Amino acid sequence: MKKINKSQPPNTLTQYAQQNPQTQTHWEDFRHHNGSTAYREIKQIMLVDQGGLCGYCEKKLSQLPENKQRVEHYHSKSDLSNIHINWALDWDNVFAVCLGGSDANKQAHPLPKNLSCDAHKDHLITKGKLPNECEGHYLNPLQLIAIPGLFDFDKATGRLSPNENACTQWQVPENQYDTTYKLVEKTIEILNLNCQRLLDDRLEVLKEYNQEIAKARKAQDKEGLKKLSQRWFSRKWPSFFTTRRILLGQHAEACLENLAYNG
């Protein structure tokens, strides 16, 4: 997971929300509004804001067919308890996400243990293991810091874990736990970012990284890591951004600093 910065409104969602201020106006009303044109437009804005990545696992959404891109509500869109907030139409409450493995090969990656992102979060909510109001139970991408990265990556397994040093440097605005470290740990658990399906994907990134490093060594290119960083991060953004960032270490950080990276 990486920081997300949202573009400033107005947009088709905020305009629709202003025209329909009733709390009971549902997300499906917006989805079908104007032949779903407004919905498709808002999803494209989110994809641009997110650099084409899933807001949680960082798969490259912009390379997937439209029916494999969906919109996730961080705070449950069904919450009607506050007459002043319609969570379904709140621009700061929505992210573009993948299908969370619900469309994956079930033999290779059986469900529900290979669900991820909002699909796994919703599975926990259905089981009564997570409340609908998720603030502070897992990280909100809008509240993340850009630097330093809060995650570590295990090259042997592909697993993500909290970066202890980074977690001690940052106090999260909303946290149901005692430490930032615990919140990052629970984020990985709630979104199931270490399911085998995503481990396999991240290990493919590691394989690509190792191949590129081997090429650079063979060519005796001492600038290999720097060049790879520039290639990977020259476009907004590569799949599994966090994994690539960790692998490239200081070279990635230098490249991102030059790009004035802020999410």
pLDDT at 186: 98
Answer whether residue 3 is part of any domain.
no
pLDDT at 104: 84
Q: Which pTM was predicted? A: 0.95
Answer whether residue 6 is part of any domain.
no
pLDDT at 107: 84
Answer whether residue 191 is part of any domain.
yes
Answer whether residue 221 is part of any domain.
yes
Q: State how far the alpha carbon of 196 is from the alpha carbons of 68, 138, 256, in Å.
A: 20, 20, 29
Answer whether residue 2 is part of any domain.
no
Q: Of the candidates 239, 238, 158, 143, which has an alpha carbon nearest to the alpha carbon of residue 199?
A: 158
SS3 assignment, position 244? helix
Answer whether residue 263 is part of any domain.
no
pLDDT at 32: 95
Domain count across the chain: 1
Element (H, E) at 153: strand 151-153
Average pLDDT, stretch 28-37? 95
How far is residue 155's CA from residue 115's CA, in Å, rounded to a whole number? 22
| Confidence label for 204 from pLDDT (cuts 50, 70 and 90) | very high
Let me know: does 39 contact 33? Beta carbons within 8 Å: yes
| Confidence label for 22 from pLDDT (cuts 50, 70 and 90) | confident
| Confidence label for 105 from pLDDT (cuts 50, 70 and 90) | confident
Answer whether residue 209 is part of any domain.
yes
Answer whether residue 7 is part of any domain.
no
> What range defines the domain where residue 157 resides?
12-258
Buried (b) or exposed (e) across 190-212, using 16+ Cβ within 10 A?
Answer: bbbbbbebbbebbbebbebbeeb
Average pLDDT, stretch 228-253? 96
Average pLDDT, stretch 140-164? 96
Question: Range with the lowest mean pLDDT among 28-37, 48-57, 103-112?
Answer: 103-112
